[in-house]
Amino acid sequence: MPKRDDRQRPPPRNGSRTDGPRQMNLVGASTQRQEGAERPEGRKSRPARTSGAPDAAVPKTPKPMRIAKVMARAGLCSRREAERWIADGRVRVNGTLLTMPALDVGPKHKILVDGQPLPLAEPVRLWRYHKPRGLVTTHNDPEGRATVFQSLPDDMPRVISIGRLDFNTEGLLLLTNDGELARHLELPETGWLRRYRVRARGRVSQADLDKLKDGIEIEGVEYGPIEATIDTFQGANAWLTLGLREGKNREVRKILGSLGLEVGRLIRVSFGPFQLLDLKEGTVELVKRRVLADQMGPTLAAEFGLLGEIEPERPKRFQAPRPVRRDDEGRETAGIKLGQPKPGRPKTGHEVAATRASRREERGPPVPGSKRSGKPQFGGGGRYSPDGGGGPRKGPRPMRPRRDRD
């Protein structure tokens, strides 16, 4: 096939180079265009890429929030309590006394509560607490009774309760260091079922309890649907299980009182997905953030900052350095004494024989009647002998006559 002449090649397009191979620009993803060159019509220009970290790595500026919400997220109080504190004149922002909660604040605002700066918001945490009877669910009781928060361990941070339990009510009480989380979980709109076990004095039928599924009105107060079942009867008392989604004041006692029952013992056994189980009375236990994030859902978990590093890494086990070994002359060795075989290397025949000889010397002479003496320990326990007696066999074993087969 004849070679094609270079002079017969078609003319270059758009003034491209023909005096050598095309050179690619390795700095970027596309070839740079010469200055002053016009871009063909119909093609849109791409935005220039900026060097540096991607958008995900750029730290986001926190959005302004209501002052009551900021105080609640700091763990001082709930949002409603924060609004009352503002109305009482306990909060200042940038030196100005605040009287209305309708104010958005950001990181640049200086907030003082009772003259003290607002503490930094800690990661959201949740605890299970087994409340005993005889404690009030409040921080300050005007009657001077013992409170739940006074009975907590000393290493616990400042926490608030999610809902409340009466003075004589025991069982599961959830605690958190985030007021916004407490407000969200205690609302009936959250839909979490609160289950109680009740010991009540009196008689009631299951048909009467089934009527509570449609709710009930007592003294002008409407109560929502209630799930109630009879567990067992013990004399004049009955053990019941109640499930409700509201947390009104003394709700269980008032509802059962309307049915002619007197509550003797009231125990909360679960709050939503969190259960009392075998938690001992007066004990508090931290709920893992992974469990809390799963129960909250992805949207709320992201809002409360539960989707970051959920569980901290466990510290690696500390390994102490090996002690330095020295030989007879005081020189450091690599973990073994000179003249000894290295661990893991098979022993030679001379070493095995020397080891056996040293063990025999340590054991000493054999004791008569032992296995090492070579004599039977029991009468008739020796080997077979032709005369039927015991003792070692002497000579070859006699041959038995062969029987002819029929």
The token duo for 135 is: 């404690």
Q: How far apart are CA 281 and CA 132, in angstroms?
A: 6
Query: Same structural domain for residues 88 and 224?
Result: no
DSSP category for residue 397: P
Active-site hit among 166, 208, 278, 406:
166
Give the whole-number percent of the chain exceeding pLDDT 70: 65
Q: Does 87 map to a domain?
A: yes
Q: Is there a single domain that holds both residue 138 and residue 242? A: no
Q: State the Cα–Cα distance between residues 354 and 386, nearest whole angstrom.
A: 40
3-state secondary structure at position 366: coil
Q: What is the pLDDT of residue 265?
A: 94
Amino acid in the structure at residue 87: A
Range of the domain at 130: 126-187+281-303
Strands (E), 345-388: none
Closest CA to 48 of 24, 23, 26, 29: 29
d(CA 380, CA 219): 100
Most confident of 62-66, 334-338, 366-370: 62-66
Select from 117, 140, 157 the last residue of a domain.
117
Catalytic-residue membership of 278: no
Q: Are 291 and 126 in contact (CB under 8 A)?
A: no
Give residue 2's pLDDT. 53
Same domain as 155, residue 291: yes
Distance in angstroms (rounded) separating the CA atoms of residues 37 and 344: 76
Average pLDDT, the chain: 75
Decide if 215 is inside a domain. yes
The pLDDT value recorded for residue 239 is 94
How far does the chain reach from its first CA to its final CA, in angstroms? 100
pLDDT tens digit string along 315-342? 433 334 445 556 666 666 554 444 555 5
Residue with tokens 């404690």: 135
Percent helix, strand, coil in the chain, to 5, is 20, 20, 60
Q: What are phi and psi of 270, to 5 degrees?
A: -160, 155
| Dist CA 235 CA 214 (whole Å) | 30
Same domain, 291 and 267: no
Q: Name the strand (E) or helix (H) holding 232.
A: strand 227-234
- 205 with 260, same domain: the answer is yes
For 123-164, the pLDDT digits (tens) are 889 999 999 999 999 888 888 899 999 999 888 888 889 988
- In terms of Cα–Cα distance, which of 325, 343, 321, 327 is closest to 335? 325
Evaluate the CA torsion angle 338, 339, 344, 345 in order and state its sign.
Answer: positive
Average pLDDT over residues 185-197: 88
Q: At what angle do helices 79-87 and 179-186 cross, to 10 degrees?
A: 120
* Domain-embedded: residue 50: no
The answer as to whether 238 is a domain residue is yes
> Which token pair is 40?
């063909």
Q: 70-74: long-range contacts (C-beta < 8 A, 24 or more apart)?
A: 70/105, 70/111, 70/118, 71/111, 71/113, 71/118, 71/179, 72/178, 72/179, 72/180, 72/182, 72/183, 73/121, 73/178, 73/179, 73/180, 74/118, 74/119, 74/120, 74/121, 74/179
| 152 and 202 co-located in one domain | no
**CATH code at 164?**
3.30.2350.10
Contact 171, 163 (CB under 8 A): no
- Nearest 5 degrees, angle CA 365-CA 369-CA 371? 75
Domains held by the chain: number: 3
CATH number at residue 206: 3.30.70.1560
On whether the CB atoms of residues 192 and 245 are closer than 8 A, the answer is yes
Q: Are 230 and 285 part of one and the same domain?
A: no
| DSSP H helices in 74-220 | 79-87, 179-186, 206-210
The DSSP element (H or E) to which 291 belongs, if any, is: helix 289-296
**Residue 402: burial class (beta carbons within 10 Å; 0-12, 13-18, 19+):** exposed
CA distance 192 to 162: 12
Cα 269 from Cα 279, distance rounded (Å): 10
Residue 139 sits in the same domain as residue 169 = yes
Where does the pLDDT of residue 305 fall: very low under 50, low under 70, confident under 90, or very high at 90 and above?
Answer: confident
User: What is the value of pTM for the model shown?
Assistant: 0.56
Q: Which one, of 175, 144, 145, lies nearest residue 75 by Cα? A: 175
- Tell me the average pLDDT across 101-116: 88
